[in-house]
Amino acid sequence: MKKLLKLIKGNRLLYTAAILSIAMSTFLAMLEPMIIKTTIDSIIGNSPLSAPPFIERLIEFVGGKGVLARNLWICSLILVALTSIRGIFLFLRGKLSSKAAENIARNIRVRLYDHIQNLPYSYHVNSESGDLIQRCTSDVDTVRRFFAVQLVDIGRAIFIVTFAVIMMLSLNKKMTLIAMVVVPFIFVFSYVFFKKIKHNFEKADTQEGALTSVLQENLNGVRVVKAFGRQTFEIEKYEKQNGKYRDLNFKLIKLLSNYWSISDLLCMTQIGLVLIAGIYYANKGEISLGTLVVFNTYEGMLLWPVRQLGRILSDMGKMTVSLGRITNILEIPVEQEHGKALKPDIKGEITFENVSFEYEKDSNVLNNLSFNVKKGETIAIVGPTGSGKSSLVHLLLRLYDYNSGSIKIDGIELKDIERKWIRNNIGIVLQEPFLYSRTIKENIMIAKLDSNDREIESAATAAAVHEVITSFEKGYDTIVGEKGVTLSGGQRQRVAIARTLIKNMPILIFDDSLSAVDAETDRVIREELKKKSTDNTTFIISHRISTVMDADKIIVLNQGEIESIGTHNQLIGKEGIYKRIWEIQNSLDTFDEEEKKACNG
C-alpha cells in the first residue's frame, strides 16, 4: 500500500474525483430498482407509499401517485434520466482514472529509464538487456492497466456492496441474510486463487523476459546467424523458450477457467436461493412483488463485484509481480560519489601509483601498476589478449574504481573527481563503435550538440572519413541505419572517431579502435591527430606495431602487470613481448612485399 500511495502521488486529486464519480454512479444505480419497486407496489399496485425520502419528494414534485398512475411514461423518463446521469459519472470515472494511470505509467518509465542510465557499468555488463526492456515495457503496462481499471473497480466494488447491503437490510433482514450466505465462500475462494495466480504469473513474467532476451540477441546477431547458417538452431532455441512461455500462460488460463467456472456455480447458486426464498416469502405475503424484484436486482449487483473479485485479484497479483520487478531495478544503488566530487580544469597529466584492480575477489586483473604521463603525450598500450589493457582505461573513466593504489589527474585523486565531469573530459573510441539510426551528421554531433558544419567537417577530416561521406548521395544527411549497419566496419569506426574528436577533450582514448581500418588510413588518422590535438593526452591501445611505434611512451602489459615501458626503439632492443610481436609482424610485412614483387614480376 505504501508503494501504491507513493506511485499515485501527484494524481491523488484525479483518483479522488474518479472515486467520487464511482460513488455517485453506484448511488444512482441503487435508486433505479427502488423506483421500479415503488412503481410496481405503490403506483400500479395499491400498497402504501414506502420509499427513500428522495423518491418520495420526487413523486410529490411530479404531482403525486395519481398523476404517475395515469402517466406511467413519467416513471420511465425518470429511469432514463437517472441512467443518463449515471452514464456521465461513469464516463468521468473512466476518463479521470485513465488520465491518472497514464501519468503514473509515464512517471514510472521516466524514473526507470533515468535510474537505468545511472546504474553502475558493472550492472549493465552482468544484466540481460531483453529482461530490462521487458521491465520497462510489459511490466510498466501491467501496472498502468491496474491503475486505469482495477484500482477504481475496487472502489466500485466496495460502494456496490455497501449500498446494496444497506438497501436490502432496509427492506428485509431475512432476505438479506439469504442473499449473503454464499458471499464469504466466494471471498475465501478468491483469496486462494489470488495466491496461486500471483506465483504463476511471476514465473510467466520472468519467462517473457527470457524470451525477449533471446529475440533481441538474435536480431542483434543476425549477420553472424546468416553467415554461419544457424537459422535452424536459432529457431529451435526460440521455440524452446516460446514453448515454456506458452505452457506457463496456459497454466494461468487454466487457473482462470477453474476460478470462473466455480465462481459462476457459486453465484448462480446464490441467485437461485434468493429467487426461491423470494417467491416463498412473496407467496406468504411477507414481501411484495416489488421487493422481490428489488432483491433480485440487488443480488445481481452484489454478485458482480464479488464475482469480479477474482479478476481484480488476478490483475492485482500480476501488478504486484510487475511492480516488484520494477522496484527491484529502482532499489539497485546508482553510481555514488564517495569522494569530494570535484570539477577541476583537466589538463591531462596522469599518474598511476601501485594501482591494483579486480572484478572478482582474489583475482587481480591489474596488479601494482605505476607510471607517469605528461600533458600532451601519446601513450600506447600493448599486450596479449586479457592482459588488462581495456581495464586500465576503464579505470580512467571511472567505469570501475580501483581497489588499491592511487590514480591522479593533474595532482588530484581520481576518486575525488566527479564521475560525469571526468567522463566529459575524456573522449573514448571503442573497438566496437555504436552508431544511432540517424544521419551521419547527427551521430557526429552527439558529443557536441551545438557544433556547426565547419566543426563537423573538420572532425570528419581528422578521422579520414570526410571524403567517404561526401561521396554518398546525401552526404552528411545519410541515415546510417540501426547500429550503423549501412556503413562498413572501417567507416563506422571513423565516424565514431570523428564523434570523439569534435569535442576536443583534453584526454583521448582509442581502445583498439584503429583495427578496422587499413594501414594507410591508420597512418593518415594518426597524422591528423598529431596536427589537431598537440595538447591532448592520448592513449592508444592496439595490437598493430605500426599504430603504436610513434608514441612517446609504450606500456607493455602482461597478465595485469607492466612488463616494460619505453619508446619503440628502446623496446625492440630488448627481449620481451613487444619485440616478439614486432618481429612477427615485421616478417609478415616482408613476406607481403615479396609476394607483391613476385606478382608484379
Percent of the chain beyond pLDDT 70?
Answer: 90
Q: Is the pTM of this model over 0.85?
A: no
Q: What is the mean pLDDT of the chain?
A: 81
Beta strand 378-382 with 553-558: parallel, antiparallel or unpaired? parallel
Residues 163-192 have a mean pLDDT of 80
Whether 2-330 shares its CATH topology with 426-504 is answered: no
At residue 592, does pLDDT exceed 60? no
* Distance, CA of 6 to CA of 20 (rounded, Å): 21
N residues, the chain: 601
- Mind giving me the DSSP string for 190-220? HHHHHHHHHHHHHHHHHHHHHHHHHHHHHHH
CATH class of residue range 342-421+515-601: alpha beta
Confidence of residue 142 (pLDDT cuts 50, 70, 90): confident
* Distance, CA of 401 to CA of 418 (rounded, Å): 12
Q: Are 511 and 393 in contact (CB under 8 A)?
A: yes
Residues 156-167 have a mean pLDDT of 81
At residue 61, does pLDDT exceed 70? no
The residue with greater pLDDT, 131 or 567, is 567
- Would you list the domain boundaries of the chain? 2-330, 342-421+515-601, 426-504
State the pLDDT at residue 174: 85
Query: Per residue in 92-107, pLDDT tens?
Result: 988 888 888 888 888 8
At residue 340, does pLDDT exceed 60? yes
State the pLDDT at residue 328: 86
CATH superfamily, with its number, for domain 2-330 = ABC transporter type 1, transmembrane domain (1.20.1560.10)
State the pLDDT at residue 321: 80
Beta strand 378-382 with 350-360: parallel, antiparallel or unpaired? unpaired
Residues 428-443 have a mean pLDDT of 83
Residues 452-471 have a mean pLDDT of 87
State the pLDDT at residue 598: 47
Q: Are 269 and 252 in contact (CB under 8 A)?
A: no
List own/partner pairs for 443-450 with CB under 8 A and 24 or more apart.
Answer: 443/480, 443/484, 443/495, 443/499, 444/476, 444/495, 444/498, 444/499, 444/502, 445/502, 446/499, 447/499, 447/500, 447/502, 447/503, 448/502, 448/503
Residues 557-573 have a mean pLDDT of 88
**What's the CATH number for 426-504?**
3.40.50.300
Residues 18-22 have a mean pLDDT of 87
Query: Per residue in 243-296, pLDDT tens?
Result: 888 888 888 888 878 877 887 788 888 888 888 888 888 888 887 787 788 888
Percent of the chain beyond pLDDT 90?
Answer: 3
Q: Are 545 and 555 in contact (CB under 8 A)?
A: no
